[in-house]
Amino acid sequence: MESTISFPHILGHFNDLVAVTAGYPVAETANLPITELSIDSRNKTFTPFPLFFAIIGINHNGHDYIIEAYQKGIRQFVVNHAYNHSIIEKYNDVNILAVTDPLEALHQFTIFYRSKYQLPLLSITGSNGKTIVKEWMHELLSRKYKTVSNPHSYNAQVGVPLSISLLQPNHEYGIFEAGISQPGEMEKLARLIQPTHGLFTNIGPAHSQGFQTITQKIEEKIKLFAGCSTIYYCKDHPLVDQVLRKRYKNELINWSFNNPTADYLVRCKQLTGQTKLQITRSTQNHKRANTFIVPFRDSASIENITHCLVYLLDNGLDPALLQRSLLQLKAIPMRMTLKAGMNRCQVIDDTYTNDIASLRLALDFMQQQQPTKRTVILSDMLQSATPDHQLYQELAALLAKHAIHRLIGIGPVISHHSTLFEIPETIFFNSVEAFIAAKPSFKDETILVKGARSFRLERVVQTMEKNSHGTILEIDMHAIRHNLSYFRSKLQVGTKIMAMVKASTYGSGSNSFELASALQRHGVEYLGVAYMDEGIHLRQQGITLPIMVMNPTDDHFDAMLSHHLEPEVYSLPLLDELACFISEKSIQSIPIHLKLETGMHRLGIEETALDQLITQLKQIPALHIVSIFSHLAASQEDMHDAYTLLQADRFIKMTQYIEQQLAIKPLKHLLNTNGILRFQQFQFDMVRLGIGLHGVGVDQTIQPYLLPASTLKTTISQIKSIQKGESIGYDRKGIAQQDITIATIPIGYADGLSRSFGCGKGRVIIQGHACPIIGNVCMDMAMVDVTNITAQRGDEVIIFNAVHSIDALAEQLGTIPYELLTQISQRVKRIYYT
């Protein structure tokens, strides 16, 4: 079937690539067209003539995957001059271009391709809200134009070129976001995007570590707008206003909630579950006002949608058309999420976009999950720039290439093209209501739900989710990847990483394997767990990395061996038990990790026992010592640095003695998260990375370089008015000192909200305000004082997030982030964003 599909979208030809990059062909079979850009050999290609750029990054070197890319059908490559061109000796049907920097070559080719198109193109930057403003703008503009935008948050040095390659001749409008983390990057993105209009969302602390001041950060970001005819922003951010007016005085259009000198003045009135916005345009002759009802009340969403409305009104879109579209927008974060489903299913919720580019990304993500039956629930694709028959032919080929077992199509158009889908099982419904009424069954499946917003496929997701608990722990997988890259950048060449995923991955993992799977994909060499059952569960979920078990017991050696788990040996009695097991079972080889006592005084073999240890090890040839390690007691505290150095000295002497006596060279590892950052001279062969992956619990001088990955949040269940003198909660610990308003929230100590939060010691964030917890925390609920804000049922409540840090919360309560994270109950729903 795939051979019947034509792919007319040609980005250029190999000779164009040679010309625009000034590289030289190492091998050339023909002047082939280029129909797709690729930088990851794991992702499938979908067009006849893809081009692979071997980009060198912190986590991966693209040159290591050229053979794999060839085996997947790619025949055109851009490589570094220094690459060993052994592929030429094996294959004679390839085009290979050698350049100084493959990433720069990707940029040069993208500039060449972008220059073919003359169309209005809005580019968005700022600190927060870029992706959601881009997605909302895309949704609203698509009601009038054929639009194209970055898929998800492809907004940096690699993602932007891949996004620009999606431009096609029938597109009428482009919306692209751009993000940077250090000076010098935005000029490159500006040359790639070539925007005609610009929009600056706001400025904040996100990604500030690469800049000396906030002013420098703004100055770097606004370089995106160098070629723009008009630039839009909120005047209520005074530093943004100041820097923009200094550089782009004549191109600016601004708006404000309170400054009457702004070009647009915005008034807000909160309604039940909605907000009324009045947007007034000031002109020399008269003022024009438009009123809109938007489906959210939080300040971030209000600012984001106002950016959209001001831009769209200023560019002539019909206010009535906008109002009809507004109520379909989602107020939730617009990212792909992984959720636990009923009957051992995984649900990938990607219901906020529906186009070919984002579907490819979602299918690639789906393939990275545990190997189960794959089901796709897909709605009609609306506002596509491709004719229906061709569009659904491409969809059918895409699903077939990803080995989808079942397709559930929702909508009249996809149902009309049902015969195009040649996959094992298909079923089609004209509406979501018909799907829900039919109650299809799901069991042991990975299910991707993707569709146009007008179908409201979140209703489909709700029917399949495992937990209906109103409290959610969100884990940002982008933050995990960022933190991993940061720590990896601090390692010497060749130093391996053992990621500690014990205690349900510091509370972020459910009974599944989401984070361990991501770490495996991103090149971590080892995993560490506390107990055998944690390791077995990871094996059952398809994790193949070596796994060290820190607390093995003699009654579990058989299960550990059968699941290829590697025990830590921390005492001579444990070694004796292992020796007996080996003898009884006639085991040929078992990998082990020796734990040495250097000063933690928890688990470990004492220096005085080394000779006995060595004698026993010599008598058990089946034991293969994979690593020798110890644990630092106080690597974060500089007041204890002398003790840390003493521990390191003991470790070096003990390991050298063992190596000499046994004539072995195992891996050696001593450093934990804070040790990696503060004692780089002791990295040895491997380091153990734990809570630092989550972007918390580190030295405060390092914190600005990390992204906190977890958000614990809930919603308001009920609002009550309490008169002065009345009591709130168990034991009447909360007494109203005046007439107050309280909100009840569905989170208690059974969920991980410790009782120590009660009686005013803990605070939660509602509408940006810190609201104290009143009275004792209950098992399943808590009450908070919302007297000074206009709160209502359903409002979001933040316990901690990237802005309201878990570190500060832990310090306030006299504990550590580890405890707060690991005590979050498994009944709290986990959602993984990518």
Q: Catalytic residue among 235, 502, 595, 668, which? A: 502
Helix, strand, coil percent values for the chain (each to nearest 5):
35, 25, 40
Closest CA to 235 of 249, 218, 255: 255
Residue 573's CB: how many other CB atoms inside 10 A? 9
Closest CA to 477 of 304, 335, 314, 328: 335
The C-alpha atoms of residue 276 and residue 293 are separated, in whole angstroms, by 5
The C-alpha atoms of residue 609 and residue 615 are separated, in whole angstroms, by 10
Q: Taking a C-beta distance cutoff of 8 angstroms, is the pair 821, 462 a contact?
A: no
Closest CA to 406 of 430, 380, 377: 377
Residue given tokens 């601004």 in the structure block: 254
The CA distances from residue 459 to 71, 264, 409, 454, 540, in Å, are 41, 37, 15, 12, 31
The DSSP 8-state label assigned to residue 115 in this structure reads: T
For 673-714, what is the HEC assignment? HHHHHHCHHHCCCEEEECHHHHCCCCCCCCHHHCCCCEEEEE
117 flagged as catalytic: no
Helix (H) or strand (E) holding 69: helix 66-71
The CA distances from residue 607 to 26, 206, 612, 652, 671, in Å, are 58, 47, 10, 12, 19
CA dihedral (40, 41, 44, 48) in degrees, to 10, reads 100
The C-alpha atoms of residue 138 and residue 355 are separated, in whole angstroms, by 12
Structure tokens at 640: 């204890």
Structure tokens at 683: 């990295």
The C-alpha atoms of residue 587 and residue 151 are separated, in whole angstroms, by 52
Q: One-letter amino acid identity for 302?
A: I
Q: Taking a C-beta distance cutoff of 8 angstroms, is the pair 693, 480 a contact?
A: yes
730 flagged as catalytic: yes
The C-alpha atoms of residue 518 and residue 529 are separated, in whole angstroms, by 16
Q: Catalytic residue among 65, 248, 657, 730, which? A: 730
Structure tokens at 285: 């002759």
Collapsed DSSP state (helix, strand, coil) of residue 302: helix
The DSSP 8-state label assigned to residue 761 in this structure reads: T
Greatest distance between any 2 Cα atoms in the chain: 97
The C-alpha R_g of the chain, in whole angstroms, comes to 29
Helix (H) or strand (E) holding 518: helix 514-521
Q: Taking a C-beta distance cutoff of 8 angstroms, is the pair 630, 600 a contact?
A: yes
The CA distances from residue 685 to 66, 575, 599, 666, in Å, are 27, 24, 21, 9
The C-alpha atoms of residue 502 and residue 129 are separated, in whole angstroms, by 33
The C-alpha atoms of residue 256 and residue 115 are separated, in whole angstroms, by 35
Structure tokens at 429: 């419904």
Give me the half-sphere count of Cα atoms (radius 13 Å) on the Cβ side of residue 722.
25
Give me the half-sphere count of Cα atoms (radius 13 Å) on the Cβ side of residue 656.
6
Q: Taking a C-beta distance cutoff of 8 angstroms, is the pair 731, 776 a contact?
A: yes
Active site amino acids: 502, 730
